[in-house]
Amino acid sequence: MGFQDYQQALVLDVIRMSAHAYSVAELDEILDGPLKSVLGYEMMTCGTGFYTEQGCYGYKYHSRAFPMEYFFELRNPNGSIDSALMRKWLLVQRPVYYQCGRDDADFPEEWVKLFTRYQLRNTIGHAVSDRNGVVGNYFVFARLQGEV
């Protein structure tokens, strides 16, 4: 399978633009332009956060069309966020995915219901942690074209 020539050109655009992105506006040009064209997502969120035994806490985040109410409903009483997708990522430390209907049995029923209520359809997520597994950067994409 592999990329077509136009997709390769878009990936190179993402790399080139990323090397010179110093503002949120420049990041948005990448997210709403070539990256969106390559991955075919409708919404995404990314950011920096840290993990403790009490849960995950966001330090900074950036979102494109992702319903923030979804994240509010994932909030625990202590203010941490508990996403089943990123909990799975913490276990495997590789890209993780979820497709409504097909992967329901692999995730908690409560999270599946919340995901479905916001009509997110499917998602992929990945992160990179520091050496101690405390601080990390993450990207989550949802409503991708086709199945994940």
Is the domain of 31 the same as that of 59? no
| pTM as predicted | 0.90
Check which CATH number belongs to the domain holding 123 and give it: 3.30.450.80
In a domain, 82, yes or no: yes
Res. 109 pLDDT band, cuts 50 70 90: very high
pLDDT at residue 3 in the model: 67
Residue-range definition of the domain harbouring residue 20:
1-39
State the Cα–Cα distance between residues 56 and 133, nearest whole angstrom: 11
Is the domain of 35 the same as that of 48? no
What are the b/e assignments for 7-27, b being 16+ CB within 10 Å?
Answer: eeebeebbeebeeebeeeeeb
In a domain, 147, yes or no: no
Asked if residue 1 has pLDDT above 70, the reply is no
Res. 134 pLDDT band, cuts 50 70 90: confident
Q: How many domains does the chain have?
A: 2
State the Cα–Cα distance between residues 86 and 126, nearest whole angstrom: 8
Is the domain of 80 the same as that of 95? yes
Is the domain of 122 the same as that of 60? yes
Is the domain of 34 the same as that of 50? no
pLDDT in tens, 13-33: 999 999 999 999 999 999 999
Is the domain of 54 the same as that of 124? yes
For residue 127, give the 3-state DSSP assignment: strand
In a domain, 34, yes or no: yes
The rounded percent of the chain whose pLDDT value lies above 90 is: 74
Is the domain of 129 the same as that of 60? yes
Is the domain of 63 the same as that of 123? yes
In a domain, 148, yes or no: no
For residue 86, give the 3-state DSSP assignment: helix
In a domain, 98, yes or no: yes
DSSP 7-69: HHHHHHHHHHHHHT--SHHHHHHHHHTHHHHHH--SEEEEEEEEEETTEEEEEEEEEEB--HH
In a domain, 28, yes or no: yes
Is the domain of 22 the same as that of 35? yes
